[in-house]
Amino acid sequence: MTTTAPPDQASKQQLLEWYRTMRTIREFEERLHKEFATGEIPGFVHLYAGEEAIATGVITHLRLDDYIASTHRGHGHAIAKGCDVRAMMAEIYGKRDGLCHGKGGSMHIADVDKGMLGANGIVGGGPPMICGVGLSAKIRGTDQVGVSFTGDGGSNQGTFLESLNLAAVWHLPCVYVVENNGYAEATSVKYHAGAGTDIVKRADGFGLPGVVVDGHDFFAVYEAAGEAIARARGGGGPSLLECRVNRYYGHFEGDQQTYRAPGEVEELRRTRDCLDLFARQVTSAGLVDAEELRRVDEEVARLIDDAVADAKAAPEPDPSDLLTDVYVKY
């Protein structure tokens, strides 16, 4: 045994941190699913449950001063980027002390100070902004990176395709992640993508490399994203990372998902759950005990309980908040 240490020698502490992030996203979303059904949460909510390995596996490579732009399904990215979970919950409940002071809600949840340029109510709204992040890093001479998340649906939007081209032309330090969960709202990717589900090939068409990985497998996402982000940061230019995954919940909360086969979601939860897979891998490898994972589960459950209780009890914004923050100065 004489080889050099490979880059994936993660410590127990690191493995538990990754697990905690994924578990936090999962519990946040599962809890929201329950709470939304009570009618107390205003507006639209789009849940990320099932896709946690992607947000976690990608964003763990990013620094605080790197930026991400998300989709309408943005809670997972926000949590992985370090947004405060309680403030997020308060925001979703529309409260004054929410992450956006109740002005954004679930679809626009953001924390620019943490490099999270927001969930976005417009499909395809994010990728061009990430081009801008890349341009900014290049002009200012930093090694910051921009990562954009788009769904399979959003990958048909002109903004996404234009952004791939612009990133290639300007050789930007950006990674375009496509979370292909098989559905654009109620329409399967088998219908809505003309080249079938061969979304990764769009990268080649614009002059950047593209890779497909299994989005349920944290380590696969982690490895491929690590290469893509290192490439961008090192001046190697943009790339596209397509992660094949599944979502458990509907396009929005309230969507009965009748477009999916009966039992489809149950089967996925049983056989392809990213948290189960991760847990199996790290315990089989003898690196983490099942007990340690359970402890994380309990801590996360408490965190989410507290976040919900606090959010429900928190005050609403002041009426005068309606008029604030339209401009820096008008």
Partner 1 sequence: MATVSVGVVANPASGRDVRRLVTGASVFDNAEKGAMVHRLMAGLGAAGVDRVIMMPAGSGVSQSLQRHLGGRTGHLAAQRLPELEVLDMVVHEDERDSAAAVRAMAERRVAAIVVLGGDGTHRVVAAHCGDIPLCALSTGTNNAFPELREATVAGVAAGLVATARLEGDGLLRREKQLQVNVNGDVRRDSALVDVAVTTERWVGARALWRADTISEAVVTFASPGAVGLSAVAAAVSPVPRAARHGLHLRLAPPERAPTVVTVPFAPGLVTEVGVVQARRVEPGQAVPLTPLAGCLALDGERELELGPSDRVTVRLAEGPLVIDVDAVLARAARQRALNGSARPRAPTL
Partner 2 sequence: MARTITYMKAINEALDQEMSRDPTVVVFGEDNVGGHGAAGEMDAWGGVLGVTKGLYAKYPDRILDTPISESAFIGAAVGAACSGLRPVAELMFVDFMGVCFDQIFNQGAKLRYMFGGKAKVPMVIRTMWGAGIRAASQHSQSLYSIFTHVPGLKVVVPSTPYDAKGLLISAIRDDDPVIFFENKVLYTIEGEVPEESYTIPFGEANVVREGDDVSIVGVGRVVHMAQEAAERLAADGIQCEIVDLRTTSPLDEDTIYETVEKTGRLVVVDEDNPRCGMAADIAALIAQNRFDDLQAPVQMVTAPHTPPPFTGSLEDLYVPSADKIAEAVRKTTGGKVRARA
DSSP string over 229-274: HHHHHTT---EEEEEE---SS-SSTT---TTSPTTHHHHHHHH--H
* H or E element in which residue 151 lies: strand 146-151
SS3 162: helix
- Residue 219 interacts with partner 1 (CB under 8 A): yes or no: yes
Distance CA 240, CA 200 (A): 7
Residue with tokens 């538990």: 16
Q: How far is the CB of 183 from partner 2 (least distance, A)?
A: 23
Tokens of 329: 């100065």
Q: Which stretch binds partner 1 (CB under 8 A): 64-72, 81-89, 206-214, 295-303?
A: 206-214
Query: Residue 113's closest CA among 83, 75, 89?
Result: 83
Window 10-29: contact mask with partner 1 (x via CB under 8 A): x-------------------
**Residue 256 near which of partner 1, partner 2, none (CB within 5-8 Å, type-dependent):** none
Amino acid letter, 61: H
SS3 115: coil
Residue 127 · residue 158 · CB < 8 Å: no
Cα angle, residue 25 at apex, residues 296 and 306 outer, rounded to 5°: 65
Residues that bind partner 1 (rule: CB under 8 A) add up to a total of 39
Residue 52 · residue 77 · CB < 8 Å: no
- Residue 3 interacts with partner 1 (CB under 8 A): yes or no: yes
Q: How far is the CB of 76 from partner 2 (least distance, A)?
A: 18
| 164, 213, 296, 300: residue in contact with partner 1 (rule CB under 8 A) | 213
Tokens of 93: 């409940």
Binding site for partner 2 (CB under 8 A): 67, 69, 98-104, 108, 110-113, 117-118, 120-122, 125, 127-133, 135-137, 139-140, 144, 146, 158-159, 162-163, 165-166, 169-170, 324-330
Nearer Cβ to partner 1, position 201 or 270?
Answer: 201
- Residue 270 interacts with partner 1 (CB under 8 A): yes or no: no
Residue 165 · residue 174 · CB < 8 Å: no
- Residue 148 interacts with partner 1 (CB under 8 A): yes or no: no
Q: Which stretch binds partner 1 (CB under 8 A): 101-109, 191-199, 293-301, 306-314?
A: 191-199
- Residue 261 interacts with partner 1 (CB under 8 A): yes or no: no
Q: How many residues does the chain have?
A: 330
Residue with tokens 């403030």: 87
**Residue 131 near which of partner 1, partner 2, none (CB within 5-8 Å, type-dependent):** partner 2
29: CB partners within 8 A, 6+ apart? 47, 48, 49, 75, 76, 249
| 4, 11, 38, 256: residue in contact with partner 1 (rule CB under 8 A) | 4
SS3 155: helix
Nearer Cβ to partner 1, position 234 or 315?
Answer: 234
Nearer Cβ to partner 1, position 2 or 320?
Answer: 2
Specify the pairing of strand 187-188 against strand 183-184: antiparallel
| 33, 143, 170, 211: residue in contact with partner 1 (rule CB under 8 A) | 211
Binding residues (CB under 8 A) for partner 1: these are 1-6, 8-10, 190, 194-198, 200-201, 203-204, 209-213, 217, 219-220, 222-224, 227-228, 231, 239, 244, 281, 284-286
